[in-house]
Amino acid sequence: MTTDRPPSIAGWSSDSSVAERFEAEAMPHLNDIFRTATRILGDRARAEDVAQEVYLQAWKSFHRFEAGTNCRAWLFKILFHCVNHHRRKWFRFPQLKETEEFLEANLTAVVPIPEHLTDQDILSALDRIPADFRSVILMVDVEEFAYKDASEILSIPIGTVMSRLSRGRKLLREQLADVAQSYGIGHAATQGQDS
């Protein structure tokens, strides 16, 4: 942290030992929480609101967090709880409309990985895949949670984590291939693959 970091919670709280633990165990994960919230919600302002809500809920229920367990996974679980709550509230939030069968049937063949895409291209592609698949990719591929942890965080069976990950990855590759094609990258390769 920089020197102009705001005073810690412990400095303000009457229960300094709890506040110190919260400061040490929860606060370092704020960036991950915010970035994941941004990618899940597709909106920075909402992501800020949700990140604040996550930390407030975490603080209020910090007595339920067992010392020595995975605080990061616990925070992500709260995050998805908040996101699901807001999904119901913000009905504009893009839902997973396609059934998994539909997606399975419409997935294209594996395409070569475009190499010259920017971070923004990758994020745009990620945002275009359905939220449920995106969540699994973020948990497993970006945050590197084990399948079991991702299953607990997202409150879905571990088999669903694995299938959504597989299909999400394929969808992401397809999106990236489309972007690459729009840049004139990988078109030939795709044609070659198809033939």
Partner 1 sequence: MSQTPEANNRLKSAVNSIAVPPYLEARIRSQVRAQHPSHSWLFKLVPAAVASLLCLGIAISYNYGHLRLTKASKISYVWSVSNRLVSLMRPGLADHINCSVFRKYPKDAPAVEVLAQKLPAQYRELIPIVQREVPKDYRLLISHQCRWDGRRFIHLSLENDSHVLSLVITRRKDGESFQAEGLLPALVESDIPVYQSGVQRFAITAFETPDSIVYFVSDLPQAENTRMMQAMVPAVKDLLQRVEGKA
Residues that bind partner 1 (CB under 8 A): 5-9, 12-15, 18-19, 22, 27, 30-31, 34-36, 38-39, 44, 48, 51-52, 55-56, 59-64, 113, 119-120, 122-123, 126, 137-138, 141-142, 169, 172-173, 176
CA distance 170 to 167: 5
Q: What backbone torsions phi and psi does residue 186 show, to the nearest 5 degrees?
A: 80, 5
Q: Least distance (Å) from partner 1 to the CB of residue 132?
A: 16
Q: Least distance (Å) from partner 1 to the CB of residue 152?
A: 21
CA distance 70 to 62: 13
The nearer residue to partner 1, 13 or 193, going by C-beta atoms, is 13
Q: Least distance (Å) from partner 1 to the CB of residue 170?
A: 10
Angle value at C-alpha 36, between 35 and 42, nearest 5 degrees: 85
CA distance 103 to 101: 5
Q: Least distance (Å) from partner 1 to the CB of residue 86?
A: 17
